[in-house]
Structure formats: C-alpha cells, structure tokens
Amino acid sequence: MNSTDPTPSQRLSAELFDRSLAPLAKARKMRGEPAYYPRGPEEDQGSYFSRPSSASMAAADFERSVFSSPEQLIDGLNAYWEASGDADLCSLVPMMRKIAAALQEEAAEHDGSVSVFCYAMF
C-alpha cells in the first residue's frame, strides 16, 4: 500500500463525517436547533472557562479511569446520547464500531517493527 493512500479507518472516518454527521448537523440547523459545536459565543451561556480547583496536578490526573477499550467509549457515548435524548447521534454508533475495529486491525498490522529490507543511515 502506498503511504499516501488513506487507510481503512481514514476512509470510514471520512464516510462517518460526510454521510452521517454533516447531514445530521444540517437537519438540526433546519429544525432550528442549536449547532453541535457553535461557531461563536452563546449569549445565554456563561464562560466556558472556570478557575481550576487545584493549582497543581498529580499523576492520577493523567490516568484514564472511565474507559479501558474503544468499545466501552462507544458504549458510553451511546448511553450519554440516549440519556440526553439525542437519538440522531445514536445512529453514528454502528459506524464508530467499524472505525474502532479498523483501527485495531491497523494497529496489529503496523506494530512499529522495521522491515529487514529497510536500514537506517547514520
């Protein structure tokens, strides 16, 4: 495969955006609902910024403790979208699972090992 060719996960991600997310956003706009990601400040909202609760960080602040796999992350997003009443976003879940599987396959294929046909020049 040519290194400039998109990987399966890249193709699936583009498809997710072009065929699913962009149309959902357009439909949302047509219904007069707020955008998923507003392009400017929202008048009725306060600042997105808040004072930190602590002036320093610990090692535990960098640990992920919620999701240990892509499947758990996708399940968590699905549960959040269902709870928030956004069934439109729930429709993205099957494609997200395909992307996660493609990423796992690509990671297994490209483990970082160097081919015996390559050599480093110093």
Show the tokens assigned to 107: 């990671």
Residue-wise pLDDT tens digits, 45-74? 777 677 888 888 888 878 766 788 899 999
Could you give the CA distance from residue 33 to residue 27 in angstroms, rounded to a whole number?
Answer: 9
Q: Is residue 51 part of a domain?
A: no
Residue 112 near residue 86 (C-beta atoms within 8 A): no
Q: Is residue 44 part of a domain?
A: no
Total of domains in the chain: 1
Phi then psi dihedrals of residue 98, to 5 deg: -65, -40
Q: Is residue 105 part of a domain?
A: yes
Q: Which residue has the higher pLDDT, 72 or 112?
A: 72
Q: Is residue 64 part of a domain?
A: no
Q: Is residue 62 part of a domain?
A: no
What does pTM read for this prediction? 0.71
Q: Is residue 19 part of a domain?
A: yes
Could you give the CA distance from residue 82 to residue 101 in angstroms, rounded to a whole number?
Answer: 23
Q: Is residue 60 part of a domain?
A: no
Q: Is residue 45 part of a domain?
A: no
Task: With cut-offs at 50, 70 and 90, classify the pLDDT of residue 20.
Answer: very high
Could you give the CA distance from residue 52 to residue 106 in angstroms, rounded to a whole number?
Answer: 38
- A 10 A CB-CB count for 15 gives 14
Domain holding 87, by residue range, is: 8-33+70-109
